[in-house]
Amino acid sequence: MIWQNWLLIMIMLSSLVPGLIIFSLGESRHGLRTSLNLFGAITKMVLVLVMILGIHQGHSFAVHLALLPGLELVLRADPLSALFVTLSSILWLFTTIYAIAYLEDSPNRSHFFGYFSLCVTVTIGIALAGNLLTFLFFFEMLTLSTYPLVVHRGTAEAMAAGRVYLIYTLSGGLLLFLGVVWLHNLVGPVDFCMGGQLAPLVESHGKTLFMIYYLLIAGVGVKAALVPLHGWLPRAMVAPAPVSALLHAVAVVKAGAFGIIRIVLDVYGLDTAGELGLLFPLMLLATVTIIYGSIYALRQDNLKHRLAFSTVSQVSYIALGISIGNPLAIMGGMVHLVHQGLMKITLFFCAGNIAETLGVHDISRMNGVGRRLPLTMAAFTLAAIGMIGLPPMAGFVSKWYLGLGALAQGQGWLIGILVLSSLLNAAYFLPILYGAWFKEQEAEWPDDSGMTGPLECHWMLVVPPIITAVISLLVGLLANSNLSPLAWVRFIVSAGYGL
């Protein structure tokens, strides 16, 4: 049917077209810009819903465009891409609402929202990429569309952070590019499919595959912020809060983690990767990153920096789950793609609210914030508890499956890592919660906007974190229902590995 071919393109266009129009709008056209943004975001959600229903009914969606003879750009919707697309489009809607209020009265908004839409379009492209070349294509575009957002404030600090960001991501892009070209040279275009297609080459080209693997993983590892490639992430925190939210939960870091999933599961395949001995080093790397990120998070007093290092740590759960190589652990890793996104975006929304409304950036000055901003801090608390992984929150579900998988795979020591990481998470989140709720306010807020009333600040700043926090609670509570991300992940994994 023809609509199936158009659906994917429509999903891309639903943010691209508003973005391009917004670029050309004058600075003062707030109303039109806001309508376009929301129209695009909602249209995309509806289209994604249609797509998911279609996939569920067994339709397949794919679009091809020949870039070079024998080399195609392919968009294809498989269950894994549906997972990422859904996450991105839902969180994009909330981030857009949040950003509209957050940037109220600040300059350069048409610029900002133009790139914002571009960035989401590209992320959707990454999610829908049906082969390695398409993934590379959009992955590189992501660098370019996020750079203007990182430097949006235009301060010397922002420009410096932008430079660091570019150096890291463009170098990573070059490594990825080289890896892709090399792999193409070996086997021709590489389609994503469960189990990969490299098994016949293990005997003859083992060493080459080994090197290509590290090129690819280093390429995506920069964006996934694997230690030691994470240096750009804390510095990029100078960007406005919605951008941090986007970077951490929707686009960049997620794209990197998603890339790891694709490369290990769909390019190499678990068996091939295991045979080549590629999983254990990734597991070690992920473990180191988890612990390193947590320890560094403990040492930050700036709230956004603490959250940034927390991302470094949390995103590596995804890589960890994949590298354990057991269906249960893969479920844990994949579902954390969604869970971490929901929780982390809530935390960044809240951090943005605290900074915007009170001018508070440091944790040491957050005492008593809970009384001043109860709704924001409630959302923050839910998300933080989820991050720590207390049952029945979303983070617990991820860790539970990671643990089960590790045990089934005979890697019991990983349970120790998970527990240690949870303790560290608790160590850097609980003091914030304790200070905010139970300590007395010590000094005047540095820059109190003075908004009171039923809502503590603009409703568009308060509602998104509350909704995402509630969703992150629900996906944990209702993990066993048919509509939860966990159920969808079970569907993905059981198709490939038979649970």
Backbone phi, psi, residue 62, to 5°: -155, 145
* Amino acid residing at 207: K
Does residue 159 bind other proteins (CB under 8 A)?
A: yes
Distance (Å) of CA 300 to CA 51, 240, 293, 303, 439:
42, 19, 11, 7, 20
Task: List the one residue from 130, 148, 234, 435 that touches other proteins (CB under 8 A).
Answer: 148
Q: Does 151 bind other proteins (CB under 8 A)?
A: yes
What's the rounded Cα separation, in Å, for the pair 155 and 99? Answer: 20
Residue from 1, 2, 58, 69 binding other proteins (CB under 8 A):
69
Taking CB under 8 A as the binding criterion, the range among 166-174, 252-260, 271-279, 346-354 that sits at the site for other proteins is 166-174
Residue number, 150 or 462, with CB nearest to other proteins: 150
What residue type is assigned to position 451 of the chain? M
> For other proteins, which residue of 30, 59, 153, 439 counts as binding (CB under 8 A)?
153
What the block records as the tokens of 27 is: 């600075």
* Run of H or E including 463: helix 459-477
By the rule CB under 8 A, 171 interacts with other proteins: yes
> Using CB under 8 A, which residues numbered 4 to 43 contact other proteins?
23
Q: Which residues contact 43 (CB under 8 A, 6 or more apart)?
A: 14
Shortest distance, position 309 Cβ to other proteins, whole Å: 26
Asked if 152 is part of the footprint of other proteins (rule: CB under 8 A), the reply reads yes
Q: Could you give the CA distance from residue 452 to residue 473 in angstroms, rounded to a whole number? A: 27
Residues in the chain: 499
Does residue 181 bind other proteins (CB under 8 A)?
yes
Q: Which of residues 99-128 bind other proteins (CB under 8 A)?
A: 107-108, 111
Minimum CB–partner distance for residue 23 and other proteins (Å): 8
Q: Are 287 and 417 in contact, with CB atoms under 8 Å apart?
A: yes
For 67, the 3-state DSSP assignment is strand
**Phi and psi dihedrals of 78, rounded to 5?**
-110, 170
How many residues sit in the footprint of other proteins (CB under 8 A)?
A: 37
DSSP label at 310?
Answer: H
Binding residue for other proteins (CB under 8 A) from 170, 218, 407, 455?
170
174 binds other proteins (CB under 8 A): yes
- What's the token pair of residue 244? 């941090």
When asked if residue 185 is in the footprint of other proteins (CB under 8 A), the reply is yes
The reply on whether position 204 binds other proteins by CB under 8 A is no
Residues that bind other proteins (CB under 8 A): 23, 65-69, 71, 107-108, 111, 136-138, 140-141, 143-144, 148, 151-154, 158-159, 162-163, 166, 170-171, 173-174, 177-178, 181-182, 184-185
